[in-house]
Amino acid sequence: MMKFRFRRQGTDPQREKTKQELFAFNKTVEHGFPHQPSALAYDPKLQLMAIGTKSGAVKVYGAPGVEFTGLHKDTAAVTQILFLPGQGRLLLLLDDNTIHLWELVAGNAREVGGVRKEGVVCLQEVASSSIPGRPGIESCSATRVTVLLLLRSGDVLCVGTEGGGVHFLDLPHLSLRDSQLLTQDQVTQSLPEDYRCGKSLGPVESLQEHPQLPGKILIGYSRGLVVLWDLSTRHVEHLFLGKQQLESLVWERSGNFFVSSHNDGGYSMWAVTSDHPYTHQPVSSTIPYGPFPCKAISKILWRTTQLGSPLLLYSGGMPRASYGDRHCLTVQQDKVHVTLDFTSRVIDFFTIHSVEPDKAYDEPSALVVLLEEELVVIDLQSAGWPTLPTPYLAPLHSSAITCSCHVSSVPPKLWERLLNAGKAQQGQGQHGNRSWPICGGKNLAPPTKQQELLLTGHEDGTVRFWDASGVALTPLYKLSTASVFHTDCDPGDEPQDPGSDPDARQDEEDEEEEWPPFRKVGCFDPYSDDPRLGIQKISLCKYSNKLVVAGTAGQVIVLGLCDERSDHPVDVSVVDLLQDREGFTWKGHDRLEPRLKPPPFGPGFQPLVLVQCLPPASVTAVTLHAEWNLIAFGTSHGFGLFDYHRRNAVLARCTLHPNDSLAMEGPLSRVKSLKKSLRQSFRRIRKSRVSGKKRPVTTPTPTSKVQEANAALAEQEDVAPIQRRIEPRSADDSLSGVVRCLCFADTFLRDGTHHGPTLWAGTNSGSVYAYALEVPGVGLGRAERGSGPEGSCAEAVLGKEIQLMHRAPVVSICVLDGRGRPLPDPYEAAQDLATAPDMSNAHSVLIASEEQLKVFSLPKVSAKTKFKLTAHEGCRVRKVATVVFNSAAQEDYSEHTLVCLTNLGDMHLFNVPALRPQIRYDCIRKEDISGIASCVFTKYGQGFYLISPSEYERFSLSAKVLTEPLCSVQLDRPLEPTPASDGTAAHTQANGTHRNQGGQAEGQTDEVQSALSSPAPDTPLDSPLSCADLTLDSTGELTVEDVRDFLTTVDEAENNLRNITEEDGRSAGILIN
């Protein structure tokens, strides 16, 4: 009878249908700023902006929520973008010398929230072309494209090349007009003899069409020559004999003159007259930041205004010796001269102005500057030219992201207070009040029913709050913790609010009188005042408005939300996690010294209590229970429990092993420790090989062969699929005392009849500590302390201690109620926002380690069920979350599911509490360690992970909950349907992945697994998927386990596949106090 116990049952069609209604994997939208941008364009008719990247991606943005994304097949940098105004078409020049035409096409009608959405459009490539080289020469630099110009007629594309020639292509088919080719020789013949001098004119640097006379093109050559060419008559109309190397050209609106910028940091104005075919000298030449050598002015714009002088804008031109390393853009109008000083390189810029032909003036309203790390928009109609806050494309990495946290269903009151705090911050800065100028398209997505928050912790000690309710990730509010401490920088250098200190305003006015008149613009600041400020863990209670942030130097700060400015002192408590244990000496960084009198705190979250862990190691876990006024925190040395209402430490437990010396070294010593760990790993591999070679080789006999065959048959019948042998980890492994997870729960720990507050902690060595808590007025202590003194304190007593057999790190702990559902968050059941937990039946605890998932009954802590993920799948658990999946077909049906992200980048879904596998999806490349480490799940089946330092990829595992762009654009041409063989539109994302339509259920078959395969592993290094420069992990830094995943040799893998695991009959060791 026993031989049939592992046989698989047939698939249930009804269950497969239910899984399809619950689960579907989609990568939906990319939040943040495009990684490594390289080109910029704007369509003034449709009011759309396009950004190209070095990885070959193109992203089109309009009003908030209007986004389109495309990716070229070949990973080549986008060097230039042109819009065909009003048509929804884009021309892109790539670094591989190809020209591509993309256009907005009609997508299939979508049903969203029961409403059918018509007119949805998507971006698709329709044609491509390249300029042919000379016959017999495969690659000729003479035909390499340097610049593109689209004529106002919209049917001709002018292409300038390195060889000095200008080609003409018909649109939209990108066919070459051989008869109208303009070669450099044709231009040279028109030059006077004294200008020729046998020198080449150089590449074509700029092409500009006459603003009033269509078909007349200004052609600028690198040597300095500018030619006015008549396309209709095909002859040179005028020559401007410049002698300084040319960088760019721009027409004045009337066409009476144009401006050229040069590599010596100067610009010149040239009058366009028909009196003489040659112009030898410009009307005027200026080097604005001379007389010393200056850098080139790479681009210049001239915009006319009706009420004042023209507006001159140019990038570069800084004095080489003094400010050659600055990234600047200058704006001049009359006597007003401002040098915008950015923290990253200027890629391109444009102005939003009137393009109507009947208007006599440009009247620029806004300046849009694309930088290497952010997008800055300047309001040109307001006094002082302030910046406009961006509703999207905000730089997530203004300081490096170190952790993140998602909050679903934010209460309206909290949302409103966060908005007001954010507006108060913007009012203190130099922000304009105008609306966002890039507002093309229409967002068809239904309004969000619930508000969602994404919190990101940063290296500079800030926590940023983002509106993650829709497609546009909008910044709401920024919290800074640096003001609580004395940092490594000079206190006199710390930034202050300009409105709060009159002396600071006077200093700024004095600085403005200096030359050049710099003004710091933008929020990207990659430098941290003190690396110890870095935020490692965040926990927010949305009902009590309490926030806990923990940092790199052992600081844990409890904050409360306040609508008014306050200058209250911050209470400081110190918790020693070593508990005077002998033989340990901390060799890492010092703690951050708190300020005795910190500066006033603005509206928003304000610090209440600072808890300092000793030794000041990085905080690896934190949790908050606002209903009990308790916080728990853990480091590599142990964990502590603190009552922030009564300001007293309740518990401090050391988890160090006697041989765990690595935990006493700070992060600065980790390089040496990592080398040591790698060396030990290689020694173990070498030892296993040697021991394998020393095994005696026996000559097989016929009897032994029969015995082996019988044994093999018996194993096939009695044992489930082949499992990999899991070697128990040594208790002496480095960092075994690291606290990986903490959990509060109201459950049964002492006996099966009385429930009360408990605290659970899991460590890197597979140890789980469960403490029974006595909180004044809560649970067991309520009857006893009902008439007790008000100053009574919380207490913690060790109830159970569990040691997992293989000592695998504990990733997550979750207590399940009598129905097998996770316990609700604090205040949810009390405020009738969630179903009250079942306290009549026995509870259980779900413990997820890196190797297996296991459910224990409470209070006896006996194993009920388990799933050995590492043994079955050969992977290790990295992230775990309990998620509620709502059915797309039945409104009132939902399931609680355990979602596991592994080190291979795939998602495994299990039902709770039976731990039966439901489905598996490939999500992240296994080589993308930082992407896996940064993943965060939402409560209802979505998630985020970093695909670059500045971009989050948003995905959904739910068939019902989906956040994706649904938008339409009114074009001057009829929309063409999307060609698709199966009737569905392939939605190409910029990271090269496709949106899965349908998301079929997988069960246990391998065919579906292959159909849900991840992107090809040979992704180029400059792709957005390649983010090896991130320093982000579940503990804020790369762990030894992350590196060990890549140390498995072929021999070891084969041995693992051949080994059959021993019958796991032993239960976890339990110590009951």
Instruction: Say how far apart CA 1008 and CA 229 lie, in whole Å.
Output: 61
Rg of the chain (C-alpha set): 33
DSSP H helical ranges for 737-786? 781-785
Q: What is the mean pLDDT of the chain?
A: 83
Sign of the alpha-carbon dihedral angle for 136, 138, 144, 150: positive
Structural contact between residues 174 and 127, judged by C-beta atoms closer than 8 angstroms: yes
What φ, ψ does residue 379 adopt, rounded to 5°? -85, 110
Q: Which residue has the higher pLDDT, 555 or 735?
A: 555
pLDDT, residue 697, reads: 41
pLDDT, residue 790, reads: 55
Half-sphere exposure of residue 187: CA atoms within 13 angstroms, side-chain side: 30
Assess whether the previous peptide bond of 700 is cis (omega < 30° from 0).
Answer: no
Across residues 188-200, what is the average pLDDT? 84
Locus of tokens 């007119």: 119
Instruction: Say how far apart CA 339 and CA 1069 lie, in whole Å.
Output: 68
Cα distances from 273 to residues 93, 256, 414, 764, in angstroms, run 34, 8, 65, 80
Across residues 58-70, what is the average pLDDT? 96
Sign of the alpha-carbon dihedral angle for 906, 912, 913, 916: negative
Q: Which residue has the higher pLDDT, 684 or 52?
A: 52
Structural contact between residues 452 and 407, judged by C-beta atoms closer than 8 angstroms: yes
pLDDT at 983 over 60: no
The proportion of the chain whose per-residue pLDDT surpasses 70, expressed as a percent, equals 77
Instruction: Say how far apart CA 662 and CA 734 lie, in whole Å.
Output: 6
pLDDT, residue 668, reads: 41
Give bridge partners of residue 161 from the DSSP assignment: 145
pLDDT, residue 18, reads: 95
pLDDT, residue 678, reads: 64
pLDDT at 449 over 90: no
Would you place residue 976 in the very low, low, confident or very high pLDDT band (cuts 50, 70, 90)? confident
What φ, ψ does residue 279 adopt, rounded to 5°? -125, 115
pLDDT at 5 over 70: no
- The pTM (predicted TM-score) of the whole model is 0.84
Instruction: Say how far apart CA 1073 and CA 1067 lie, in whole Å.
Output: 18
Across residues 732-751, what is the average pLDDT? 88
Give the 3-state secondary structure of 633-651.
EECCCEEEEEECCCCEEEE
Half-sphere exposure of residue 835: CA atoms within 13 angstroms, side-chain side: 9
Structural contact between residues 92 and 123, judged by C-beta atoms closer than 8 angstroms: no
Instruction: Say how far apart CA 234 and CA 228 lie, in whole Å.
Output: 11
Query: 3-state DSSP call for residue 323?
Result: helix
pLDDT, residue 503, reads: 52
**Quick one: which of 514, 530, 663, 650 has its CA closest to 586?**
663
Q: How far apart are the first and last CA of the chain?
A: 41
> What are the b/e assignments for 398-429, b being 16+ CB within 10 Å?
bbbbbbbbbbbebeeebbebbeebbeebeeee
pLDDT, residue 179, reads: 80
pLDDT at 980 over 80: no
Name the strands in the sheet holding 278-279, side by side, starting at the edge strand that comes first in the sequence. Answer: 204-209, 216-221, 225-230, 235-241, 278-279
In eight-state DSSP terms, residue 19 is H
Across residues 328-345, what is the average pLDDT? 95
pLDDT at 988 over 50: no
* Tokens standing for residue 743: 């959990």
pLDDT, residue 672, reads: 47
Rounded (5°) CA angle 698-704-707? 140
Query: 3-state DSSP call for residue 670?
Result: helix
Assess whether the previous peptide bond of 516 is cis (omega < 30° from 0).
Answer: yes
pLDDT at 853 over 60: yes
Q: Which amino acid is at 152?
A: R
DSSP letters of 546-570? EEEEEETTSEEEEEEEESS-B----
pLDDT at 363 over 50: yes
Instruction: Say how far apart CA 839 and CA 818 lie, in whole Å.
Output: 6
Q: Which amino acid is at 734?
A: S
Q: How far is CA 942 from the centre of its chain?
A: 15
DSSP H helical ranges for 895-1049? 929-933, 1006-1011, 1040-1044
pLDDT at 1072 over 90: no
**Quick one: which of 30, 61, 2, 92 has its CA closest to 944?**
30
pLDDT at 1069 over 50: no
Instruction: Say how far apart CA 92 and CA 304 lie, in whole Å.
Output: 29
- With 0-12 / 13-18 / 19 or more C-beta atoms within 10 angstroms meaning exposed / middle / buried, residue 544 is middle
pLDDT, residue 694, reads: 44
Instruction: Say how far apart CA 677 and CA 1043 lie, in whole Å.
Output: 10
Q: Which residue has the higher pLDDT, 210 or 583?
A: 210
Across residues 447-472, what is the average pLDDT? 95
pLDDT, residue 528, reads: 78
Structural contact between residues 668 and 725, judged by C-beta atoms closer than 8 angstroms: no
pLDDT, residue 500, reads: 45
Rounded (5°) CA angle 657-661-664? 105
Across residues 539-567, what is the average pLDDT? 96
pLDDT, residue 735, reads: 81
pLDDT, residue 963, reads: 93
What φ, ψ does residue 711 adopt, rounded to 5°? -65, -40
Instruction: Say how far apart CA 378 and CA 351 lie, in whole Å.
Output: 9
pLDDT at 61 over 60: yes
pLDDT at 554 over 50: yes
pLDDT, residue 6, reads: 46
Instruction: Please count the helices (runs of H) and the strands (runs of E) in the chain.
Output: 14, 65
Cα distances from 428 to residues 341, 384, 421, 431, in angstroms, run 20, 15, 11, 8
